[in-house]
Structure 1
């Protein structure tokens, strides 16, 4: 009998990608063949996100895409949006199954009957029940893997639905993280990106056990010793959880790269307090200064939200000037969007959508300026580049340790290899031009 075909589509963050990958391996073990989402499949699994309005709208588009490829296919929705608004997803035409936070890892148990349902069937736990941990990692792009080390969040930021979608903060055991890292290394993957909802909170055990078995710093030190991994990258980490000991260790580490992504959200202490963030802007200045003092070439990315309720023009300009004066490398700009069941949705001082859009555009312009200045500061320096696997219009791209994107005429021999290069200038598209350093004609 021919094996059933399954296809996956992932919306949202690196954590979702790592979980999709793990769920897909579960399907393979059950005898399913994985195909691309654009191809005809028997089952389409959509891993949803609820962070922005657009993610909600995008879901409906992806369901239509699946139906176009195979009108009789079984469509399952999993992930954050599936936990927060299961009934809403179940009402979307074509959706047969909706699984919440705890059920998604057991999806194959729900697939005894693949006939289309008249209505989406919902299996969604109360989020308090999401108190166990499922380790995951993604493998697909051969040059990089996302390794999940932590899930859930105990923070109560007033704009955020993640604690409602993913439950309490809990972590993988150090032993299991290291086992997964070794498995990744054995597959000739050169770079691992650590991911989670709030990875700096790593160490909280399962079942609501708040005792830290190991700290994030201990995790970082242990991963640095795993043989076969060339690079480790910390994804996003809260400024109040990024300690000096971690920064100093990364600066002298064998594998950790000088790249940090640190959410700020606002440069105004007044707005930070309304958001219930756990730091003031002064701490953020201190974190950036500490990183740059020990790693002058480090890349620092920043998350920022514009248009939060009560954000006046003065508050926004305070954020703009704060970021302009900081030695950072790029911004991820989010336009505030109202989310049900959050504190912020009931706050006074709603910012007009046009004003939100204008502020977002201003910060994206600042981000482009910051990135360009960072790239220019690196011209003439030497770095190690890890080349990616895709031929994009005759070019191969790669990233330096400090997250500078470079380009070179396509050469398949370079895929998934590390080379020492000199950055020689900036191309018209803003990427860096390179030449191989004399001593590095061979892959390092």
Structure 2
């Protein structure tokens, strides 16, 4: 039984670390609390409830989570602090003992956030009820928390899948998120239609391993794409990340003829060395990856292709890194998301004998980031002088507005041309030269 009166008049603050999926889920937490009468605390206001949604993809992420918890407790004395997310699932008891933390919810329990809060508020000053933690073993993570929200953003994020069955040697995410599971296509179409009714124009499909969609309902990801493509009012869909072995040729062809799915892909590579891919227990080789990239470019020459790549993992000898660098340099990809390998407790990668020193990891990361900058610059430069459609995002008064083209080129509209009415509107612009820091192309309204 939920006592809604216990929520009235309370203010909440939120802090999210990690992936787009986490941001989507935090936004859903905010929506749930709002429906109970809780308002979001303004900057500088003290919150009564603090929600911290954590990440645990690296050791640095764990450290940032602890820092965020300490900061929220310090800035909001007396607040009821809830910690959830991947770090909370993997280290529930440890997190519960951090000063200020009142409640820790693992991956199976976070969907019932409101009920847990109601119980805690009803128990009042019973200190025995504080510093609680609730989490189950990976095999028992069964719940799926629906999420289609935008928070303070223009784009909506639609959670289509959760969990992962892959268990790559370096990764803790399957342990934190559980096995792959998903809702039905019909329910996701309904959520997209609701986003359209609220005025949404763009939706990003998020999940942990979204190409694995269908494990629960025995449906196919390509059928989800086709169904969403028919949702009236949504003019743009983006797919956040797809494993190369799950990115079917048929899906690439489908997107190339789609009404609303944009020429924009994000594909995790992790390494361009087949030897390292084997050590990682990835389910593809460099030849398959190259085929997917080249097919995308054949079908959609203007496509933006982002790639995840990890450097310095165990077993990555210098010659293997060089193979990776040369492989990426040869491909028509647009941007690299570079992650230095981080040792994670409990992963099988720890049994691989060859260890890369931190100094060498930084050196390799720098080389790949420089390659990424060059590739992104060259991609943007091809479109200078072109006319394209841009979905603009709200900007503070007196500041430049930003937005993205169909193929994910970041665009900047100077403050002198910015208008409030451009927010969440798709507008035709002419692309000019790079802005002052090279992060966007300047735009002129046509």
- After TM superposition, the score normalised by the length of structure 1 is 0.93
Moved more, 57-66 or 366-375: 57-66
Report the CA distance between 1:382 and its aligned residue. 2.3
1:142-185: CA deviation from partner (whole Å, max 9, x where unpaired): 52011000000010200111110011101111111011101111
Question: What residue number does 1:298 align with?
Answer: 303
Instruction: Answer yes or no: is 1:436 the counterpart of 2:445.
Output: yes
Of 199, 222, 226, 1:221 maps to 226
Structure 1 consecutive aligned stretches of length 4 or more whose deviation exceeds 3 Å: 113-119
Q: Is the 8 A contact 2:414 2:442 kept in 1?
A: no
Q: Is the 8 A contact 1:20 1:138 kept in 2?
A: no
Report the CA distance between 1:291 and its aligned residue. 0.5
The CA distance in 2 between the partners of 1:348 and 1:120, in whole Å, is 39
Q: Is the 8 A contact 2:388 2:429 kept in 1?
A: yes
Q: Is the 8 A contact 2:111 2:143 kept in 1?
A: no
Question: What residue number does 1:26 align with?
Answer: 32
Corresponding residue SS for 2:346: coil
Of 41, 64, 67, 1:61 maps to 67
The CA distance in 2 between the partners of 1:229 and 1:282, in whole Å, is 35
The CA distance in 1 between the partners of 2:101 and 2:44, in whole Å, is 17
Question: What residue number does 2:434 align with?
Answer: 426
Q: Is the 8 A contact 1:38 1:66 kept in 2?
A: no
Q: Is the 8 A contact 1:8 1:37 kept in 2?
A: no
Equivalence map 1:373-384=2 (5 Å): 373-384=378-389
The CA distance in 2 between the partners of 1:383 and 1:141, in whole Å, is 25
Report the CA distance between 1:117 and its aligned residue. 4.8
Of 407, 413, 422, 1:414 maps to 422
The CA distance in 2 between the partners of 1:330 and 1:303, in whole Å, is 9
Corresponding residue SS for 1:96: strand
Report the CA distance between 1:65 and its aligned residue. 2.3
Instruction: Answer yes or no: is 1:124 the counterpart of 2:135.
Output: yes
In structure 2, do the counterparts of structure 1 residues 38 and 271 end up closer, same or farther at CA, with 3 Å as the change threshold? farther
Q: Is the 8 A contact 1:72 1:116 kept in 2?
A: no
Report the CA distance between 1:125 and its aligned residue. 1.2
The CA distance in 2 between the partners of 1:113 and 1:252, in whole Å, is 52
The CA distance in 1 between the partners of 2:444 and 2:341, in whole Å, is 42
Corresponding residue SS for 2:101: coil
The CA distance in 1 between the partners of 2:100 and 2:267, in whole Å, is 39
Question: What residue number does 1:208 align with?
Answer: none
Question: What residue number does 1:170 align with?
Answer: 181
1:260-308: CA deviation from partner (whole Å, max 9, x where unpaired): 0000000000000000000000011100110000111100000000001
In structure 2, do the counterparts of structure 1 residues 15 and 392 end up closer, same or farther at CA, with 3 Å as the change threshold? farther
Moved more, 109-118 or 331-340: 109-118
Corresponding residue SS for 2:111: helix
Instruction: Answer yes or no: is 1:317 the counterpart of 2:322.
Output: yes
Equivalence map 1:281-360=2 (5 Å): 281-360=286-365
The CA distance in 1 between the partners of 2:247 and 2:120, in whole Å, is 48
Q: Is the 8 A contact 2:56 2:87 kept in 1?
A: yes
Corresponding residue SS for 1:308: coil
Report the CA distance between 1:137 and its aligned residue. 1.6
Unaligned runs of at least 5 residues, structure 2: none
The CA distance in 2 between the partners of 1:120 and 1:417, in whole Å, is 46
Report the CA distance between 1:393 and its aligned residue. 6.8
The CA distance in 1 between the partners of 2:308 and 2:127, in whole Å, is 41
Q: Is the 8 A contact 2:430 2:443 kept in 1?
A: yes
The CA distance in 1 between the partners of 2:429 and 2:76, in whole Å, is 47
Instruction: Answer yes or no: is 1:371 the counterpart of 2:383.
Output: no
Question: What residue number does 2:168 align with?
Answer: 157
Q: Is the 8 A contact 1:96 1:116 kept in 2?
A: no
1:334-360: CA deviation from partner (whole Å, max 9, x where unpaired): 000001111112321111111111111
1:69-94: CA deviation from partner (whole Å, max 9, x where unpaired): 32111111011111111122112221
The CA distance in 2 between the partners of 1:314 and 1:400, in whole Å, is 38
Question: What residue number does 1:201 align with?
Answer: 212
Instruction: Answer yes or no: is 1:241 the counterpart of 2:246.
Output: yes
In structure 2, do the counterparts of structure 1 residues 338 and 415 end up closer, same or farther at CA, with 3 Å as the change threshold? same
Report the CA distance between 1:222 and its aligned residue. 0.2
Report the CA distance between 1:4 and its aligned residue. 1.7
Report the CA distance between 1:189 and its aligned residue. 1.3
Report the CA distance between 1:116 and its aligned residue. 8.5
Question: What residue number does 1:51 align with?
Answer: 57
In structure 2, do the counterparts of structure 1 residues 105 and 292 end up closer, same or farther at CA, with 3 Å as the change threshold? same
Report the CA distance between 1:424 and its aligned residue. 2.5
Question: What residue number does 2:77 align with?
Answer: 71
Equivalence map 1:249-264=2 (5 Å): 249-264=254-269
Corresponding residue SS for 1:321: helix
Question: What residue number does 1:113 align with?
Answer: 120
Unaligned runs of at least 5 residues, structure 1: 206-211, 438-444
